[in-house]
Structure 1
Amino acid sequence: MSPLTQNEQLHLNSLEEVKNCSLLESQCSGTTLDRPLTNISPEEYGESWEGVHFSESMLSSYLRFYEIGAAWRTVGGLSDVKGEYSLINFHDALMSSDPGTEQGQTAFHQAFLSQLCPIDRSPRSGAGFQTYLRMQAEVDELELWYSDIADIEQPPYPPGFIKLDISYCEYLDALLLTKGTYGWQYLFADISLSGKGSSDSRNNLKNMLRAFPEIFPDRDYSSLRDRLEARL
């Protein structure tokens, strides 16, 4: 296996920041490398994915780790913030079952659900979120969709799913800033966080923007602050 790419090293460093931070209580794992993305053909994992391809930007930013992630929370008197991420190697992600086509209320729902391939999840805490790639043929960039236990809906798509307005590469970049803070994905979705049902995510994100400048003082959180304000 070739040496770590620049992006792999950035994410390994980010994981170490969480693991070694005295202001965070964490469970971390993941350094073993798997095969590169260039060796993966989606159609080998499902006939319905014939014609699906990974863009050049995905190929250049893809992380070869078998799994990399952390579940954490702040300690030491800081604002209470919790988070988790667990990036799945694409070889395993492509073999994962879809989120349940039998739950689709229409043929469109069922077809949509069959296209979803998980790339990020919360196995340690059981928080219930997952982020998916939508495996569509002949598109320039594959869409990202987010699902958690919150009551979200974006018709005509099935309840519980919302599209993210970022690419896979941008998702990885955002993880370097957010460290997987619960609800961070909503900062990149067309959604309001002002309602009562969004209070947990809203408060966690507000606390993140209070605590992270102290925990990680070399990072600029102004872009995330602007995104949160736009959704309140």
Structure 2
Amino acid sequence: MATLTANEQRHAASLKAIEESPFLDARCGSCKELGESLEELLPLYEHNEDWDEVQLDEDLMTCSLRFTNLGAQWSASSGLPEMYGEYRVLHFYDVLDQPEGPPAMSGATEFQRQFLSEIRLFDNTPRSGAGMMSFIRLQPNVTPLEIWFQDIADIGGDPYPPGYLKMDITYCQYLDALLLTKGTYGWQYLYTDISLRGGDFQSKVNYLRGMLEAFPEIFPEHDYTPLRERLEARL
């Protein structure tokens, strides 16, 4: 097996911790299969007219992962607060190879159609079908590239399509956050400008509270203080 980068080692260890934890009932992917590095994919990317003048952030070269099956779905074992999580991080080839973004709804504005044409899925919840998805926006002459979150909840709005929220986070920071949250449902809201006081978010708030109660004991190598502060700021 090829030598893993420092960031790949961190994510492989995180996936192993989920899989082996006696406190989580988990179904996990694998870190055994590696694809090409993002640097090796650049010739393909640079000759694609769809990404003309799109600038890939330099730190993507060191933080991006070569795993082709990185992800997990889990639920908390009996005796812990009710909580669930899932993530499935796509290899960057599968991100860049998507022929188009999500379809526009009837009546979408030209701005909304343009926005949807620029975003590409990179993380989602395929095992559970929970409907949460994260996108990177391949927008010309913008750096760092924007990260957007979509949920089935009533979020977002004009001028953007309903259901999408911009995250205050870069792609590399998103991957770092996965090491902490393990994909707990709704963790992405902690990095958006949104209030979680409404009833629509109660279940997600409960999962996040459960994470912040249980994870410091389950994964003591991590500091959950910043996430606790982010949740409190949105309540």
Which TM bucket (shorter chain)? over 0.9
CA distance in 2, matches of 1:104, 1:134: 22
Matched, 1:158 2:161: yes
CA distance in 1, matches of 2:106, 2:59: 33
| SS of equivalent residue, structure 1 residue 30 | strand
Instruction: Indicate the residue corresponding to 2:58 in structure 1.
Output: 56
Instruction: Indicate the residue corresponding to 1:14 in structure 2.
Output: 14
Contact conserved, 2:64 with 2:92, CA < 8 A, in 1? Answer: no
Contact conserved, 1:43 with 1:52, CA < 8 A, in 2? Answer: no
| SS of equivalent residue, structure 2 residue 148 | strand
CA distance in 2, matches of 1:75, 1:227: 26
Q: Match of 2:141, as an amino acid?
A: E
Q: 1:184 aligns with which of 184, 187, 193?
A: 187
Contact conserved, 1:104 with 1:158, CA < 8 A, in 2? Answer: no
Q: 1:117 aligns with which of 115, 120, 134?
A: 120
Cα 1:82–1:104 shift into 2, 3 Å: farther
The percentage of counterpart residues that share the same residue type is 48
Instruction: Indicate the residue corresponding to 2:196 in structure 1.
Output: 193
CA distance in 2, matches of 1:213, 1:65: 27
CA distance in 2, matches of 1:104, 1:145: 21
Instruction: Indicate the residue corresponding to 2:35 in structure 1.
Output: 34
Worse overlay, 182-191 or 206-215 = 206-215
After superposition, give the CA deviation of every residue in 1:81-126 in whole Å (9 maximum; x if it has no partner): 1000000001112222411135561000000000011110001000
Instruction: Indicate the residue corresponding to 1:208 in structure 2.
Output: 211
Matched, 1:142 2:145: yes
Q: CA deviation at 1:224?
A: 0.3
Q: CA RMSD in A?
A: 1.4
Q: CA deviation at 1:185?
A: 0.3
Instruction: Indicate the residue corresponding to 2:5 in structure 1.
Output: 5
CA distance in 2, matches of 1:119, 1:44: 21
Cα 1:218–1:50 shift into 2, 3 Å: same
Query: Which stretches in structure 2 are left out of the alignment for 5+ residues?
Result: none
Q: CA deviation at 1:155?
A: 2.2
CA distance in 1, matches of 2:107, 2:29: 34
